[in-house]
Chains A and B, each alone.
Chain A
Amino acid sequence: GEIVEAPIKNNENRIWVKYHEGFSDAVKKNIRWSDLF
């Protein structure tokens, strides 16, 4: 039969979403001046 190729096949070029099973609850962090500015 005919092989149907996806438009973007090799992994390097592929655009896709890697799903996260559980939503990791947000972590609140103290930040320093140099982290932001």
Chain B
Amino acid sequence: MPSRSIEYDEVTESIPFGDLVEGGPVISTSSGLMILEIQGDLNLPQRIPDKLTETESEMYVQDESSLGINTADELGSSGSHTAVKFGKLDIDGKRATLYIGSSQRLVGTIEKIDPPLGLMRILSESSTEETPIQVLDVIRQKAIFRSRPLPIM
């Protein structure tokens, strides 16, 4: 009968969850995680396309570390990741604007997530020993975009 234990030392500091601080919503957690939610599908390429214009190529980075963000250590992921710049996010108080690619503008809000969401990483079991599952962070706010995309003007 299968079983896996959970470790949540990383998040116990943030428990119990007090009230969110008023005045200027902080969308990311202290460890820098955040959630974007879009009512729709976000179409992104799965790999770097072959034929790209110069402007397009600038949107791709072969190795995320060149962005100055290191997801590898904290999230326990390994290897370098190719990334694409797909947009721009502006936050003004509770209002958020997300520009997608070069043609769409989404207007949304910063909202409280209730109940908050814990981010877990579940790696497949190694055959010899049980690897505990880590709760890496708890996310309490998100930027959510429910309205139809508008053209960028």
In the complex, A touching B (Cβ < 8 A): yes
A interface with B by C-beta (< 8 Å): 6-8, 10, 12-20, 23, 33, 36-37
Chain A contact residues: helix, strand, loop or mixed: loop
B68-84 vs A: 1/0 string, CB under 8 Å? 00000000000000001
> Which of A6, A18, A20, A37 is close to B124, meaning CB atoms less than 8 Å apart?
A37
Contact across chains for B56 and A19 when beta carbons are under 8 A apart = no
Residues on B close to A: CB < 8 A? 2, 4, 38-45, 49, 51-53, 55-56, 84, 86-87, 100-104, 106, 122, 124-125, 146, 148-149
* B residues in contact with A17, CB < 8 Å: 38, 40-43, 100, 104, 106, 149
Given A8-B56, A23-B39, does the pair A13, B100 have CB atoms closer than 8 Å? no
Contact: B43 with A37, CB < 8 Å?
no
